């Protein structure tokens, strides 16, 4: 995640509002009203809006500022599926090349940060922010270690699509217990992936990375289905959605 502190919390909340339809395509994203609604100053909101633009969720609006970009559930599915294929390739390359000591340290520091974020069993704002930061750091470390510039460029393009990035965390609408269970399962996949990388198991690492992305697709679909009228409208705009 490129932002931290209140900006990270604003980013996570704005993603959730866009994903569930509380903020709809074309709605203006104005700093002052959003800052008041989120109970924070304009600076973190400004940083969050810039990050939303980088993620493909916001576009420049006429007269200045930003507006919510139109997108469909199919776009999200396709983008995350592509990310899974690319990250699977990165994981296989890392496993085949071998995991040097520095990379192993980075990966285990990320795993420990994730364990700590989930340890209390309460997904408050601080825990959610910590998990999102850990998730982004772990995925980025693997892609960087793959040493494939073309792969890195392709992933950067994919992550500029709505909700496609590894750190584009969206809180589930089904309550804290459901959110926690989903994150615990996803983080267990992180542990298994790191084990496969360090064991030099290229095929297994590739399969785990792809399965991890598939799990993200399923989780986001659950958020859509539980999100009420706004999320239902998003699905309805997608004629190819299952």
Per-residue model confidence as pLDDT tens digits over 168-180: 776 555 456 777 8
- Measured in residues, the chain has a length of 242
b/e per residue 103-136 (b: at least 16 CB within 10 A): beebbeebbebbeebbeeeebeeebbbbbbbbbb
Q: What pLDDT was estimated at residue 227?
A: 54
> Residues 103, 147, 217, 130: is their CA dihedral positive or negative?
positive
Same domain, 43 and 132: no
Element (H, E) at 220: helix 202-226
* Residue 242 falls inside a structural domain: no
15-32 pLDDT tens trace:
888 877 888 889 999 999
Same domain as 136, residue 38: no
Overall domain count for the chain:
2
Of 25, 51, 68, the position where a domain reaches its end is 68
Q: Do 28 and 117 sit in the same domain of this protein?
A: no
């Amino acid at each position: 995640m490129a932002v931290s502190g209140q900006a990270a919390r604003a980013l996570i909340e704005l993603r959730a509002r866009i994903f569930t339809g509380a903020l709809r395509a074309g709605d203006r994203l104005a700093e002052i009203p959003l800052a008041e609604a989120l109970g924070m100053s304009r600076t973190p909101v400004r940083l969050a809006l810039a990050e939303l633009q980088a993620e493909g969720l916001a576009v420049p609006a006429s007269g200045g500022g930003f507006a919510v970009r139109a997108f469909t559930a199919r776009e999200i599915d396709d983008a995350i599926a592509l990310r899974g294929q690319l990250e699977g390739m990165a994981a296989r390359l890392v496993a085949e090349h071998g995991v040097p000591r520095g990379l192993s340290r980075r990966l285990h520091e990320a795993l420990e940060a994730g364990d700590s974020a989930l340890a209390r069993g309460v997904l408050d704002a601080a825990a959610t922010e910590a998990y999102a930061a850990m998730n982004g750091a772990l995925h980025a470390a693997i892609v960087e270690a793959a040493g494939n510039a073309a792969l890195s460029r392709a992933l950067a393009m994919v992550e500029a699509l709505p909700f496609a990035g590894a750190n584009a965390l969206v809180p589930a609408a089904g309550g804290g217990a459901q959110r926690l269970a989903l994150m615990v399962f996803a983080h267990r996949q992180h542990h298994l992936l790191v084990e496969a990388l360090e064991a030099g198991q290229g095929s297994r690492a590739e399969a785990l990375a792809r399965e991890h992305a598939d799990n993200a697709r399923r989780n986001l679909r659950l958020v859509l289905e539980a999100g009420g009228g706004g999320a239902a409208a998003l699905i309805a705009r997608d004629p190819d959605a299952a």
